[in-house]
Structure 1
Amino acid sequence: MRTTGDRIRQAVSFEVIGLLISVPLAAFAFGYSLEKTGVLGLIGATLATVWNYIFNLGFDHALKRFTGSTRKSIKLRVLHAFSFELGLLMAFLPIIAWWMEIELLEALLVDVSFAVFYLVYAFVFTWCYDTIFPDTDAAPPSGQ
């Protein structure tokens, strides 16, 4: 199981790299100002960082309980990425509408766009992170 420090490093590095990529992309794609999109990105990153820590802790505990290991197969990585983004999508939608002063439908388009970006990004980032900073508990349980 990962340490608290490792989980914090993972969550913060995930959000910093994601912001550096997504904010300019979103400002360009939707025609919003970089400042307004940047603040929205910071709000989303803060929300996502807290959610990242809580979600990954719960996911790893469930995985360890049901499989005896925190090792993730490709199927589990896909499930992990989709379920993380779905939870974040629901929490972020009203914030986007409020901050950007747009209707919920337009906010949903922005939210889904961020979610699609972060869905792919989460899959790639987590795989890279697990490769660079392997979880010593991720080895298959003995006898398997």
Structure 2
Amino acid sequence: MRSWKERLTHTLLFEAGGLVMVTPLASWLTGHDMGEIGVLAVGLATAAMLWNLVWNRAFDALVPTRRRSLVQRFAQAFGFELGLLVMTLPAVAWWMDIGLMEAFWLDLGFMLFFLAYAMVFNTLFDLVMRRYLAREGA
């Protein structure tokens, strides 16, 4: 089982990397101001960090291994993103002053981006941690 320190490190690295990539992309794609998207992205990232700690801790309890299959990684990433989408949809609509359907499509775009990003990031993070822990144990 992963420690809270490891999970917090994972969360902070994940969200920082995601913000750097998604904020300019979302601003460009939606035509909304970079500042408006940036504030939304930081708010979503904050919600995501809290949800990440809860979701991934629970997922670790259900699938307690660092060597996860592609299906397990997909389930981990999809469950996280779906939960986040459901929780953040009203806030996205309110902040962007758009309807729920438009907010859904915007939030879905974030979800699809982060779904792919999460699968890659989590795989690489586990690989690095396995090597680090093997070296620490040696």
Question: Fold conserved (TM > 0.5)?
Answer: yes
Q: Confirm or deny: 8 A CA contact 2:66 2:126 kept in the other structure.
A: no
**2:16 matches 1:16:** yes
Task: Give 2:81's aligned residue.
Answer: 85
Corresponding residue SS for 2:130: coil
Q: Which residue of 2 aligns with 1:117?
A: 113
* Contact residue 81 and residue 122 of structure 1 kept, 8 A: yes
Q: Which residue of 1 aligns with 2:25?
A: 25
> For the structure 1 residues 95 and 11, does the alpha-carbon distance in structure 2 shift closer, same or farther, using more than 3 Å as the test?
same
Give the gaps of 5 or more residues in structure 1. Answer: 138-144
Alignment partner, residue 59 of structure 1: 59
**Shift of residue 10, structure 1, vs aligned partner:** 0.1
- 1:128-143 matches, cutoff 5 A: 128-134=124-130
Q: CA deviation at 1:71?
A: 3.2
Structure 1: how far apart are the matches of 2:57 and 2:131?
13
Cα separation, 1, equivalents of 2:31 and 2:89:
19
Q: Partner of 1:104 in structure 2?
A: 100
Tell me what 1:50 maps to.
50
Query: Taking every aligned residue pair, what percent have the same amino acid on both sides?
Result: 39
Q: Which runs of 5+ in 2 are unaligned?
A: 134-138
Backbone CA RMSD of aligned residues: 1.5
Provide TM-score, normalisation by structure 2. Answer: 0.92
Q: Is the 8 A contact 1:89 1:115 kept in 2?
A: yes
CA positional deviation for 1:134: 2.1
**Structure with a larger share of its residues in helix:** 2
Pairwise CA distance, 1:34: 0.2
Query: Which amino acid letter does the alignment assign opposite residue 60 of structure 2?
Result: D
In structure 1, what is the Cα distance between the partners aligned to 2:91 and 2:78?
20
- SS at the partner of 1:134? helix
Residue-pair matches, total: 133
Q: Following the alignment from structure 2 to structure 1, what is the Cα–Cα distance between the partners of residues 20 and 60? A: 27
Code of the aligned partner of 1:50? L
Conserved? CA contact 1:44–1:92, under 8 Å: yes
